[in-house]
Amino acid sequence: MNQEQMIPHWDLSSVYTGLEADDFRSAVDELRERLADLRQYLDEQQIARGGRVPADPAALADVIAGYLERMNSLSALYQTLLYYVYGFVATDSYNKTAQRIHSELQALGAERETMEVRFRGWMGTVGQQPETLAAVLEREGTPRQHAFYLQETVQQSRYLMSEAEEALAAELALSGALAWQRLQGTICSQLKAPFERDGRVEELPITVIQNLYNDPDGAVRERAYQVELQAWERVREPLAACLNGVKGAVLTIDRRRGRQDALHDALDQARIDRATLETMLEAMQDTFPDFRRYWQAKARRLGKERLPWWDLFAPLGRAEKRYTFDQARQFIVETLGGFSERLARFCQSAFERRWIDAEPRNGKRGGAFCMGLPLVEESRILCNFDGSLDQVKTIAHELGHAYHNECRRGKTYLQRQVPMTLAEMASTFNETIILDALLANASDPQEELAVLETFLVDASQIIVDITSRYLFESEVFARRAQAELSADDLCETMLRCQQATYGDGLDQRYLHPYMWAWKPHYYRPTLSFYNFPYAFGMLFSLGLYGLYQQQGSDFLPAYDALLRDSGEATPADLAARFGLSLRERTFWENGLHLIRQRIERYLAL
């Protein structure tokens, strides 16, 4: 295979030179030292719930600054170490050394978390003296620079157990919810199944089989569906145990912290309220009939009465083009350059510096993600490239996350904490640019059809399938509060939620009962309902894209500023900069209007 055709693995050598190298070991030792230093500082300053709070604003500001500086430094080091090791775990789950070190780092992370909880509890005490805190935040210095974080910390301090309980919960999570999460990741990354093609049977990773849903051959897609479901059937019991373990732990902790329900914490992490979420979901549900018309039309194009699950991602139109990785790179950089030269230069640099791990292979986890490495101000992107336009779009999506990290360059760790509702904004914006350019340059109806198909497949996943996942997780939490759910229960619930959302758009005999098994989002104990943020991000970015179309290059400084400040404001406040209100249904309908327009164009072709 020549260089142009090679699919890259990422290069982590700019971070550390190896898992057992001196620089990595020294960094781990430094992490331990910083943990000890922070613990000593908390003790000396009596930072804990009910602890001493200096009455003098200047003295209080110094105490808060001492914590912020130590926690920022410690957390940036911890995240860099943890993600560096995860770079090995995510691409090779057979790497026992990486698995062991990752577990050791998570234990240190639990220690860091207990100290953060101590500070949150103390800030609750500080918040009982609002005038003193206000005086602190008016002074120049580190606390003022972290005003948003401090005010949010005061608000969230009410949802804490006792210090001893929080410490115990963090330690138990290592052998409880986090262990269940790791097990799910290991099972899925190592799952393989025999697949017959062109008269030859080959044992393929599940990620490669899932990519076959994009294959132009309908027989291949159907066989991939059958093989995938059979594969999940073999591991359904341990995965059901994983999901029960994670959700049970979340329910217990939320109840002890005084949360209303699991969604309560997810909304606070997203920095939105229930009214905003409900308004968005209602607007989304009103588009379901439009999507069902799209699926029915797609079924007719494929010569079928109803669309089975394996044809959801079927390419249509003149979609036979396959991209080499180098062609994908060139197309992405050139297209994004039409929007922003800064963005294009950044993407070119990411390719050149080998920040992307793109080859599907045994032991590598499925899907795609971007992770930030704060100490070196770099990102790394994982995807499973198969040459399809969908995967080209996926790389552009993840580069949006990386660019988001780039825009926050120079920010401290605590200033960088972006809610998931905003984390999907730049990534979805990149996708919109890519697909809009493809539509504008389509040379004939068949090419336009292929591009519209790619857009609508993605939009239907984010608007309709995301809703099914939200309904599924809501019911799982409600039922798990009473008893564990069997694998049959989970499959039955998933099918019912798909039926409620996809409706008569799909062939009800052929849905996907195991979507719960492989989606890693369900298994994150620290972030429940990692589904609606995708819809939020897409619709938010479509709204911003509409403004860009009106304002042209004048939009770019405001866009970059929004990305830069996204860790230090609520989505509502950031939207208000552009004269937008998230509580008004009109905002969400504007984004959905573009989707409806593209459905109508698809139906007209």
pLDDT, one tens digit per residue, over 372-381 is 999 999 999 9
Determine contact, residues 277/532, Cβ cutoff 8 Å: yes
Residue keyed to tokens 């004048």: 554
Render pLDDT for 274-292 as a digit per residue (tens, 0 to 9).
999 999 999 999 999 999 9
- 107 pLDDT tier (thresholds 50, 70, 90): very high
DSSP secondary structure letters along 224-236:
HHHHHHHHHHHHH
Nearest to 248 by CA among 476, 488, 494, 517: 476
Predicted pLDDT of residue 136: 97
* Per-residue pLDDT at 3 exceeds 80: no
**Single-letter residue type at 63:** V
What's residue 390's pLDDT?
Answer: 84
DSSP state of 7: P
How much of the chain, in percent, has pLDDT values that exceed 90?
A: 91
- Dmax (CA) for the chain in angstroms is 80
For residue 6, what pLDDT band results from cuts at 50, 70 and 90?
A: confident
Q: Which of 69, 542, 567 is nearest to 269 (CA)?
A: 567
Predicted local distance difference test score (pLDDT) of residue 4: 42
Question: Residue 198: which pLDDT band, with cuts at 50, 70 and 90?
Answer: confident
The span from the CA of 191 to the CA of 361, in Å, is: 11
- 193: pLDDT strictly greater than 70: yes
pLDDT at position 218 is 96
Mean pLDDT of the chain: 95
- Residues facing 307 on adjacent strands: 506
For the question of whether the overall pTM of this predicted structure is more than 0.85, the answer is yes
pLDDT confidence band for 319 (50 / 70 / 90)? low
As a whole number of angstroms, the distance between CA 563 and CA 540 comes to: 13
Q: What is the pLDDT of residue 424?
A: 87
- Among 407, 81, 477, CA closest to 263: 477
| Residues 412-462: tens digit of each pLDDT | 999 999 998 999 899 999 999 998 888 888 888 998 999 999 899 999 999
Q: Which residues contact 184 (CB under 8 A, 6 or more apart)?
A: 239, 242, 243, 520, 523
pLDDT at position 365 is 87
Q: How far apart are CA 236 and CA 249, in angstroms?
A: 20
Report how far apart, in Å, the C-alpha atoms of 43 and of each of 46, 47, 48 are: 5, 6, 8
Weakest mean pLDDT among 308-322, 479-493, 523-537 = 308-322
Q: Is the dihedral of CA 374, 555, 356, 182 positive or negative?
A: positive
569, two tokens: 């404001």
C-alpha 101/C-alpha 321 separation (Å) is: 42
| Angle ∠(443,446,447) on CA atoms, nearest 5 | 50
For CA atoms 489, 492, 496, 498, give the dihedral sign: positive
208-262 pLDDT tens trace = 999 899 899 999 999 999 999 999 999 999 999 999 999 999 999 999 999 999 9
Please write the tens of the pLDDT for every residue from 153-175: 999 999 999 989 998 999 999 99
Kind and range of the H or E run holding 194? strand 192-197
- The values of phi and psi at residue 204, to 5°, are -115, 145
In angstroms, the CA 366 to CA 374 distance is: 24
- pLDDT tops 60 at residue 537: yes
For the four alpha carbons of 134, 137, 143 and 147, in that order, the dihedral sign comes to positive
What pLDDT sits at residue 452? 94
Placement of tokens 């908390």 in the chain? 42
Task: Give me the mean pLDDT over the 61-74 stretch.
Answer: 98
How high is the pLDDT of residue 5?
58
Q: What is the pLDDT of residue 1?
A: 37
Instruction: Determine the average pLDDT of the residues in 337-353.
Output: 97
Rounded to 5 degrees, what angle do the CA atoms 333, 336, 337 make?
80
**pLDDT higher than threshold 50 for residue 2:** no
Give the whole-angstrom CA distance, residue 566 versus residue 155. 19
Query: How many CB atoms lie under 10 A from the CB of residue 390?
Result: 18
Q: Which amino acid is at 544?
A: L
CA torsion, ordered 533, 535, 539, 540, to nearest 10 deg: 0
Instruction: Over range 287-310, report the average pLDDT.
Output: 98
Residue 586 has pLDDT above 50, yes or no: yes
By CB atoms closer than 10 A (0-12, 13-18, 19+), residue 200 is exposed
